[in-house]
Amino acid sequence: MITRRSFTTSFLAGAAAMVVTSTTSAKTQSANQDGKPSLADDPAFPTRYRTVDIDGASIFYREAGTPGAPVVLLLPGWPSSSAMFRDLIRELSANYHVFAPDYPGFGNSDIPDRSHAPYTFDALGEAIGKFVDKVGINQYVMYATDFGGLVGYRVMLKTPQRMKALVAQNNPLFLGASPWFGPLVPYWKDGTTESREKVRQHYLTLDVIRDLYLVGVRDTSLIDPEQWQLDYASLQRPGAADISLDLLYDIRTNGPALKSAQDYLRAQKPPTLVVSGKNDILFPAESQLRYREVVPNAETHLTDSGHCALADKSGEIARRMHDFLGRVL
């Protein structure tokens, strides 16, 4: 009997290659809820797959849209990559210039050796800040989910006034106490090899990654299983698992960064849209509503989905973004 845990690393690595090939070449038609094709189907707005050198590492990114249009910077979460934005990129590209980078050690980007390049949120923020400069982005709308907020807030704080609007999707602004983080607490407290190994055995599994996509979703038949299989297969690359363990450990240091982000957003009050899955096992609805404590006029739309809301609600999220950005930019 084949179980979820019986997938082998070699099978998933092969599956990942097939997924990358199929997803980068497929042009799946998108449609609005009324069944009408969206502008994203226009072949004039293809997604391009590029790399740029950042401190000697090749950083992969997806780019679509028209140069000169307002820029939307898409920052992914853990353990995913820019692949999570495939559908959203197509939906936005007719009106915006969209960039979606893979962090060092994630997706199709290089994996610099940990002994020379420590993997912390400060380091990822520095890398994405350099990416923004290297590809010539002057101002941007930031779309951040999960790790994307912890990275993006650092970019925002280093170059104030460049962020014209914020779109938060299942993205923390305050430290939370979800049971999902429970197994991390001993690791955060002692940082021992034993605690690290327990975290590896719990979090770096196909079941945990699959649950990020499925828990809280009403109709799981809408979720393409290749998404979590690709994320899991990416963790099997040499060095990638230890990078994730480093960053999961570094979560404990983010209190000051989150406080600085709250202070900045409270003072500047940038246009803010929250489009989150309300059934998230990490950052549930009440945590997403807290954006209004900092930005009282934040527009909040909690969709009936889970942590990876784009996996089944990308069309709805894209429509919310088009409406919001059409009014605030």
Q: Which residues contact 216 (CB under 8 A, 6 or more apart)?
A: 277, 278, 279, 280, 281, 305, 306, 307
- The pair of three-digit structure tokens given for residue 93, joined into one six-digit string: 């590209």
Q: Name the active-site residue from 97, 301, 307, 322.
A: 307
Residue 65 contacts residue 98 (beta carbons within 8 Å): yes
**Is there a catalytic annotation at residue 307?**
yes
Query: Is the peptide bond prior to 172 cis by the omega test (within 30 degrees of 0)?
Result: no
User: Residue by residue, what is the 3-state secondary structure of the chain?
Assistant: CCCHHHCCHHHHHHHHHHHHHHHHHCCCCCECCCCCECHHHCCCCCCEEEEEEECCEEEEEEEECCCCCCEEEEECCCCCCHHHHHHHHHHHCCCCEEEEECCCCCCCCCCCCCCCCCCCHHHHHHHHHHHHHHCCCCCEEEEECCHHHHHHHHHHHHCCCCEEEEEECCCCCCCCCCHHHHHHHHHHHHCCHHHHHHHHHHHCCHHHHHHHHHCCCCCHHHCCCHHHHHHHHHHCCCCHHHHHHHHHHHHHHCHHHHHHHHHHHHHHCCCEEEEEECCCCCCCHHHHHCHHHHCCCCEEEEECCCCCCHHHHHHHHHHHHHHHHHHHC
CA distance 171 to 288: 7
Catalytic residues, which ones?
A: 307
